[in-house]
């Protein structure tokens, strides 16, 4: 391999987004992680030339600040809407085992899909790799091997920070992935308790129309990663399908996932605007809490005291409270000096809370403002459209990932695979008038039975698939479809 070949090169699109992704991750992680990063998120006020004293002041300043978990709770709420219904699966028998153990480590498809959806919500990007087991040329993989799980493909979910480089080529008018570099970590030393990791770069390439994978490492795991480092091959192989013959894969089995679409471009993070405001709110909170601390601690002031009075009467001490009388000489005064409350940080906090709610952070506090029905519908549609798009993109990516995985087991068409995450979030139900309108539309022939039930399913009233519901209705002898609709 030529010296100086930079296997660990990170594309500009990725490096530019790394800071944003870190901000969102930290906001989701919450207060402990945010405060651990100190002045990365909360500027250090230099109030004293004494460094030790200034550090103590900053720790107190940071300790009183409150980081509200808006970003994390918003993520949980959005994810909860998608997974309020089970994933609708339509899989060939050969792929059912993968759905129950998608990564070979016992993770179910639903569990991994939750993580994948959260990644795309946080960072606007992710990826799924269909990882094939290593099969030697000429080795025959039997149906029993696949069914037992001893030799089987798996689907792995990747964070966008791991997808560091890629290329696409146009072949026969079709754009296909021709290079993919995934950065991973591998345990290199393990004494059974403590372990040490080092980076590895998994490189997928199309070489003369055949997919091959090579794993690279630094020549020395003790060196610092950088452009001047030399890399060496740790492992390389073609990707062979397991249909009992030397049958190489002709595609890189990887699928990009995005917030907008599933092409290779890097989409904007849906949660970044909320996370950014969340940190601005945190800084305002620090100022507000510190101001409250200062303003809430009155300072006693005494005038007219001389050295003789201080020595002979109060002896350098003043005890305050209703049970303690303070004797003062003639002409002296006593009062409490208290700073005026500072309402500017509080107003700034409220303003940012309104901004966060406006872009989807409904979980900050219960909604108290009155809205018209049309305003509520517009807000619901606007928010659901982004979440629906992401849910559909994740669904499509899993269908393609399972399609790639099927190439190891058997020849299955993409259309034969259905993996559908819930993307309908209009759960407000139907009032009596709206229900009757649906019934009338069905009875007049404007809607079919299926279309009428689809309205009920979208509103969360009906839960069964149409075919199952019709079978039950037929078995129960319900002759008039109007009856189950109006009950």
The first and second tokens of residue 101, run together, are 């153990």
* 212 and 204 Cβ atoms separated by less than 8 Å: yes
For residue 231, the surrounding DSSP H or E stretch is strand 231-238
The span from the CA of 262 to the CA of 264, in Å, is 7
pLDDT reported for residue 199: 92
Provide the pLDDT confidence category of residue 368 given band limits of 50, 70 and 90.
very low
Q: Is the pLDDT score of 474 beyond 90?
A: no
Looking at residues 142-151, what average pLDDT do you find?
51
Looking at residues 128-149, what average pLDDT do you find?
61
* 412 and 405 Cβ atoms separated by less than 8 Å: no
pLDDT reported for residue 33: 95
pLDDT reported for residue 479: 45
Q: Rounded to whole angstroms, what are the CA distances from 57 to 44, 49, 51, 299?
A: 9, 12, 10, 19
Selection from 166-175, 343-352, 365-374, 452-461 with the highest mean pLDDT: 166-175
Residue with tokens 């809430």: 296
221-257 per-position pLDDT tens digit: 666 655 567 889 988 887 766 554 467 888 999 999 9
pLDDT reported for residue 434: 76
The first and second tokens of residue 301, run together, are 């002031």
Write the DSSP symbol of residue 403: H
pLDDT reported for residue 348: 64
The first and second tokens of residue 100, run together, are 């129950």
pLDDT reported for residue 128: 97
For residue 179, how many C-alpha atoms fall within 13 Å in the half-sphere facing its CB? 11
The first and second tokens of residue 399, run together, are 């269908």
The span from the CA of 193 to the CA of 185, in Å, is 18
The span from the CA of 468 to the CA of 362, in Å, is 36
pLDDT reported for residue 134: 66
Burial 195-211 (b: 16+ CB within 10 A, else e): eeebebbbbbbbeeeeb
Write the DSSP symbol of residue 313: I
Radius of gyration of the chain (CA): 32
DSSP for 411-459, please give it.
Answer: ---GGG-EEE-------S---HHHHHHHHHHHHTTSS-HHHHHHHHHHT
Q: Rounded to whole angstroms, what are the CA distances from 312 to 254, 303, 316, 321, 480?
A: 87, 17, 9, 21, 102
Q: Which region among 125-129, 428-432, 433-437 has the lowest average model confidence (pLDDT)?
A: 428-432
- 3-state SS assignment for residue 218: strand
Long-range pairs of 443-451 with CB within 8 A, sequence gap ≥ 24: 443/482, 449/481
Residue with tokens 């991973």: 184
* pLDDT top residue among 131 and 372: 131
Residue 264: how many CB atoms within 10 A of its CB? 19
pLDDT reported for residue 2: 46
Phi and psi dihedrals of 215, rounded to 5?
A: -105, 125
Selection from 64-73, 297-306, 446-455 with the highest mean pLDDT: 64-73
Residue 446: how many CB atoms within 10 A of its CB? 11
- pTM of model > 0.85: no
Q: What percent of the chain has pLDDT over 90?
A: 35
Strand pairing of 125-131 and 254-258? antiparallel
- 3-state SS assignment for residue 127: strand
* pLDDT top residue among 484 and 161: 161
21-61 per-position pLDDT tens digit: 999 999 999 999 999 999 999 998 876 678 888 888 889 98
Looking at residues 346-364, what average pLDDT do you find?
59
Average confidence score pLDDT of the chain: 80
pLDDT reported for residue 456: 77
- 3-state SS assignment for residue 2: coil
Looking at residues 295-309, what average pLDDT do you find?
73
Looking at residues 94-119, what average pLDDT do you find?
93
pLDDT reported for residue 182: 97
Provide the pLDDT confidence category of residue 377 given band limits of 50, 70 and 90.
low
Domain residues of the chain, as ranges?
299-337, 428-487
């Amino acid at each position: 391999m030529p010296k100086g070949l930079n296997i660990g090169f990170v594309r500009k699109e990725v490096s530019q987004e790394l800071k944003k992704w870190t901000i969102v991750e930290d906001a989701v992680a919450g207060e402990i992680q945010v405060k651990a990063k100190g002045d990365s998120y909360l500027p250090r006020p230099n109030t004293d030339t004494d460094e030790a004293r200034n550090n103590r002041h900053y720790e107190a300043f940071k300790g009183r600040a409150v980081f509200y978990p808006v970003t994390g709770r918003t993520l949980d709420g959005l994810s909860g809407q998608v997974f309020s219904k089970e994933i609708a699966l339509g899989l060939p028998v050969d792929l059912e085992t993968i759905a129950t153990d998608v990564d070979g480590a016992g993770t179910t498809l639903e569990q991994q899909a939750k993580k994948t959806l959260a990644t795309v919500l946080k960072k606007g990007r992710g990826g799924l790799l269909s990882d094939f087991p290593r099969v030697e040329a000429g080795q025959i993989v039997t149906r029993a091997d696949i069914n037992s799980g001893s030799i089987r493909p798996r689907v792995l979910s990747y964070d966008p920070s791991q997808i560091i480089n890629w290329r696409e080529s146009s072949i026969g008018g079709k754009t296909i992935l021709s290079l993919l570099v995934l950065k991973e970590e591998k345990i290199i030393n393990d004494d059974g308790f403590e372990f040490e990791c080092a980076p590895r770069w998994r490189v997928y390439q199309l070489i003369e129309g055949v997919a091959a994978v090579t794993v690279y490492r630094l020549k020395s795991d003790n060196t610092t990663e950088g452009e001047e480092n030399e890399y060496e091959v740790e492992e390389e192989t073609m990707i062979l399908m397991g249909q009992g013959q030397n049958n190489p894969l002709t595609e890189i089995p990887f699928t990009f996932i995005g917030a907008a679409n599933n092409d290779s471009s890097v989409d904007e993070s849906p949660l970044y605007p909320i996370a950014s405001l969340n940190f601005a709110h945190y800084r305002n909170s620090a100022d507000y809490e510190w101001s409250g601390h200062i303003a809430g601690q009155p300072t006693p002031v005494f005038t007219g005291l001389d050295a003789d009075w201080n020595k002979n009467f109060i002896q350098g001490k003043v005890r305050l409270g209703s049970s303690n009388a303070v004797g003062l000489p003639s002409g002296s005064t006593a009062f409490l000096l208290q700073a005026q409350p500072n309402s500017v940080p509080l107003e700034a906090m409220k303003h940012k809370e309104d901004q966060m709610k406006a872009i989807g952070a409904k979980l900050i506090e219960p909604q108290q403002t009155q809205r018209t029905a049309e305003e509520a519908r517009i807000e619901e549609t606007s928010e659901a459209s982004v979440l629906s798009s992401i849910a559909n993109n994740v669904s499509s990516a899993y269908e393609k990932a399972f399609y790639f995985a099927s190439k190891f087991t058997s020849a299955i068409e993409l259309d034969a695979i259905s993996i559908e995450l819930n993307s309908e979030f209009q759960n407000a139900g139907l009032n009596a008038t709206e229900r009757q309108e649906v019934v009338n539309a069905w009875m007049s022939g404007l809607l079919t039975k299926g279309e009428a039930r689809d309205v009920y399913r979208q509103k969360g009233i009906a839960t069964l698939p149409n075919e199952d519901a019709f079978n039950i209705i037929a078995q129960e002898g319900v002759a008039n479809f109007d009856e189950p609709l109006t009950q």
